[in-house]
Chains A and B, each alone.
Chain A
Amino acid sequence: MTTNVNTPADERPAPSPSGPGGGSRPTAFSRVFNARVAEASMLPIAFALVIVGFGIARPGTFLQWSNFTSIFGLNSTQLVLVMALLIPLTNGDLDLSVAELSGMTGILVGWLNVNHGWAIVPAILVALAVGVLCGAINGWIIVRFDVNPFIVTLAMGSVFDGIAFWLPNQQTIPGISPKLTDWTALHHILGIPLDFWYGIVIMLVLFYVLTFTPFGQRSLFIGQSREVARLSGFRVSSTRFWAFVAAGFIAAISGVINDGILGAATPQNQGNLLLAVYAAAFLGFTTIQPGRFNAIGAGISVYFLAVAVNGMNLLGAQTYIQSLFYGVFLVVAVVASRVINRRRAASAARAAN
């Protein structure tokens, strides 16, 4: 008795290059390449075009290796911070407080180290613990009282911002232990500052967690359908809570790294930073593993945006270009991610008929 369903060709779509999708069939390869890979590689291609374009316009300055190493080093705060967003986003939750939390923990390190004479390592450990605690507060309020994470984290962000200006009395705290700067911005591997490599390590950890662990799978199901997740026996609230805790922890790391890059702790408005990382997260949604918030895509997007801003600066653009640019790109990225989801739904409907 053979009972194979006669699946139409349309039903064997191409596995994506994501972790679980890697098992491709050679027969499907050409179609895979046309559809999914084209979609997944759109951003890397745009990235290459941007580099070529600015390279032609400013060959003397833009194309220097030193320009790239400085871009890599100076934007690692964003590279780390975007990773903080990914787990809550995968769960279907927005965390708008990460940028301010990053700023506050950065101030906390300087305040303890300079104003109170703590050694740098305990100061960092306390700052990381505070990051975890703040993430836990976010998560607890959201899960315990079933309130909208958008509003809660927006409000908590304002609280963190207030503390960040209050602790140092609105002044920059200079003279943070040079050890911190040594171990972030000054030591190099392959000519690129260490802080970049920290970001890469965190990115790879996030990639692993989201793609290869039961925790990541639970988050995906929860983000896609709370009902399916609940009926599968997942503890939805607990998973969402720990996502906010992880976000707080990673945001605190980015605050510490930022201190090292600047050699000082400066209270400042974090609005641009927040827009930049959200733009990167949603751009990342459209690439590498399209349709999922993914670490590699988000990491590439951070540097796509940073390189574009750098190039425009070299062309003589003013600093306000950043606000403009990040805002526009966030809108573009959100629309693109929505279009991807719609297209998938439409092709699913076609396949079903």
Chain B
Amino acid sequence: MSGTAQTAPASADTTAAPALEASNLAKSFGASRALKGVDLTIHAGEVVALLGENGSGKSTLVKILSGYHEPEPGGSLRMNGVDVPLPVPLGQARTVGLGFVYQDLGLAPNMQVVENLFVGRRVNGAAGSFSRINWGAERERAREIFERYGVDLDPGAQTGRLRPTSQALLAIVRAAEELHDYRRAHERGGGVLVLDEPTVFLPEHEKVFLFDLVRRIVGEGFGVLFVSHDMTAVREIAHRAVVLRDGAKVGDVAVASASDADLIELVSGHRLDRSTIEQATTYGSQAAVETSGEVVLSVRDVRSGRVRGVSFELRAGEILGVAGLLGAGSEDLPYVLFGDAEGSSGEVRLPDWSGDVSELSPARSIGLGMALVPADRKQQGVVPDLPVALNMLSLSLKNFMQGGFLRVDRLIGTANQRTETYDVRPRDASLNVAALSGGNQQKVVLARWLEQGPRVLLLHEPTQGVDVATRHQIYELMRARAAQGVAILWVSTDFDELATVSHRILLCAHGTIAGTLAPPYARDRITSEVYSATARGAGREVTTAP
């Protein structure tokens, strides 16, 4: 049962009606075509991997199936040969035979395993609301279900205390059971389980448990749509891979007959050259030497959660891109370096300070000349219901104090000038931030930190949810700052963006820096290098696992 073999397709029944048959699914957001008429077929007993980089239309497709998005007219969906009217009713996907497990799993951590497992049975209306739940029988039933799927879970355990892998198994078993409920209710077969990046946050050597569970579910005749960046996982359990790029289907291949390089080429549109990465590393370090600025941030063996030993140097005037797939640890790096993560370790050197990263806190980091622009603008970036002026100048309010009073007039006046400087529209700093477009909100966030005159700027997905025109303004703004000597660490999963702005690009995989990529930069090259670095790293970790 180790992580080998098992790649041969099971007896997928291709004669009967497919478990899922979608055709011509399309969706536009404004002028951009996120999904350009995609067909998808999943047979009973078949695992289909859905591959594609960020922005390829993968998540749009999944969200159409879950009912979150309404597809454009002309698309159709048949489940087990029966037409399903689109859009799928939101929150009711299970009633048409679709079960979903998302990355966050949707479990209530303070409740017991059995309570989470059967939460779907508590939905039905008023009639049965006060009928007795026989917990003894429910626990017994839960044990039988876990036994049938070969997972060892205690129905009485508190869900939040389980290991992440066990929680993922529980969420998948729950979704499969709900599909069984669907079969019973409609007295028919069929049912498709959609697994949306379920392996991202799991330790490599425990993924096999998940694969075994998926195989058992497939053995019960369900179809599985496996959405993942994880080539090893795809190779392990998927029979067929459907690849999306720029909203269109660019490949539909049997996994057994495709090499890693073939799949990566389909995803990125770029032929992988195995030697490039070694060349890249040497060439990259030469490039780094050429960068003239002094080192302003030196990081050695920083660890925290998914960050498993990261070392690099960042120079004044440099934009250093960090490219990694979701779960690679790169998404946590800016917060760890800003002192906003617990249980971190590793050495950090700044011009005025050096020590362990655990000694840093956001307040201290700001004092040392660091600034962090977080990806989650709504939660961490701005206060939407306060005016632009306060959001923009909240770090320097003391400059506007006079005789113990805040001079709001000066505050608004200065902020109005800044709306010119940073081209925030409309040019009215007294408006609430919520009234601005996403792009202008992001300019407010950037302005707040740039006003501090930081020496090190940590950016995490700084153009997420930002329109194309503003995006390029932000690139220009950052280039200008770098030219003035600011050092910028730019973490993003938008590889087009990294190719555009970076002086140097680090590849991040499995929590470490897998290499430095040499110029020239292009999206497809970065994508193929990141995927291959991730695939190689996974193999290494599997073989060294106890």
Asked if residues B163 and A351 are in contact (CB atoms below 8 Å), the reply is: yes
Asked if residues B91 and A230 are in contact (CB atoms below 8 Å), the reply is: yes
Asked if residues B132 and A23 are in contact (CB atoms below 8 Å), the reply is: no
Q: How large is the interface on B (under 10, 10 to 19, 20 to 34, 35 or more residues)?
A: 35 or more
Asked if residues B160 and A345 are in contact (CB atoms below 8 Å), the reply is: yes
- How many interface contacts (CB-CB < 8 Å) are there between A and B? 150
- Bound-state CA distance A205–B403 (Å) is 62
Looking at A5, A227, A351, the one whose CB has the most chain B CB atoms below 10 A away is: A5
- What string of 1s and 0s marks CB contacts (under 8 Å) between A228-245 and chain B? 101111100000000000
The smallest beta-carbon distance between B2 and chain A, in angstroms, is: 11
Given contacts A20-B114, A20-B139, A232-B123, contact A348 B161 (CB under 8 A): yes
- Segment with Cβ contacts to B, from A10-18, A152-160, A253-261, A266-274: A10-18
- What string of 1s and 0s marks CB contacts (under 8 Å) between B455-476 and chain A? 0000000000000000000000
CB-CB nearest in chain A for B208:
A3
Q: A1 at interface (Cβ–Cβ under 8 A)?
A: yes
- Bound-state CA distance A14–B114 (Å) is 14
Asked if residues A5 and B152 are in contact (CB atoms below 8 Å), the reply is: yes
Can you list 19 A-B contacts (CB < 8 A)?
A5-B152, A11-B161, A12-B154, A12-B157, A15-B156, A23-B135, A212-B135, A213-B132, A213-B133, A214-B129, A214-B133, A215-B129, A217-B122, A217-B133, A228-B108, A231-B91, A232-B122, A344-B158, A351-B161
Asked if residues B151 and A352 are in contact (CB atoms below 8 Å), the reply is: no
Contact partner of B160 (CB less than 8 A), chosen from A6, A209, A344, is A344
Asked if residues B213 and A214 are in contact (CB atoms below 8 Å), the reply is: no
- Segment with Cβ contacts to B, from A107-115, A180-188, A218-226, A312-320: A218-226
Contact partner of B108 (CB less than 8 A), chosen from A21, A224, A345, is A224
Q: A2 at interface (Cβ–Cβ under 8 A)?
A: yes
A320-351 at interface with B (beta carbon < 8 Å): 341, 344-345, 347-348, 351
Asked if residues B1 and A11 are in contact (CB atoms below 8 Å), the reply is: no
Interface size on A, residues (CB 8 A): 49
Given A4-B150, A217-B133, 17 other A-B contacts at CB below 8 A? A2-B1, A3-B209, A3-B212, A5-B151, A8-B163, A11-B162, A15-B156, A16-B156, A23-B156, A212-B133, A214-B131, A218-B123, A221-B108, A228-B106, A228-B107, A233-B92, A351-B163
* Inter-chain contacts of B112 with A (CB < 8 A): 15, 20-21
Q: B197 at interface (Cβ–Cβ under 8 A)?
A: no
The smallest beta-carbon distance between B385 and chain A, in angstroms, is: 15
* Inter-chain contacts of B191 with A (CB < 8 A): none
* Inter-chain contacts of B213 with A (CB < 8 A): 3
* Inter-chain contacts of B91 with A (CB < 8 A): 230-231, 233
- Bound-state CA distance A322–B420 (Å) is 62
Q: B119 at interface (Cβ–Cβ under 8 A)?
A: yes
CB-CB nearest in chain A for B169:
A5
Q: A25 at interface (Cβ–Cβ under 8 A)?
A: yes
Chain B residues close to A by CB (< 8 Å)? 1, 91-92, 94, 106-112, 114-115, 119-124, 128-133, 135-136, 138-139, 150-158, 160-166, 169, 206, 208-209, 212-213, 216
- Bound-state CA distance A80–B121 (Å) is 31
The smallest beta-carbon distance between A205 and chain B, in angstroms, is: 10
The 4 closest A-B pairs by CB, nearest first: A15-B156, A3-B212, A348-B160, A214-B122
* Inter-chain contacts of A230 with B (CB < 8 A): 91
Contact partner of A344 (CB less than 8 A), chosen from B110, B119, B154, is B110
A24-39 at interface with B (beta carbon < 8 Å): 24-25
Q: A60 at interface (Cβ–Cβ under 8 A)?
A: no
Asked if residues B212 and A1 are in contact (CB atoms below 8 Å), the reply is: yes
Given contacts A20-B138, A214-B128, contact A220 B161 (CB under 8 A): no
Given contacts A7-B152, A22-B136, A23-B136, contact A221 B111 (CB under 8 A): yes
* Inter-chain contacts of A208 with B (CB < 8 A): 132
Contact partner of A348 (CB less than 8 A), chosen from B94, B158, B216, is B158
Given contacts A214-B129, A218-B122, contact A232 B155 (CB under 8 A): no
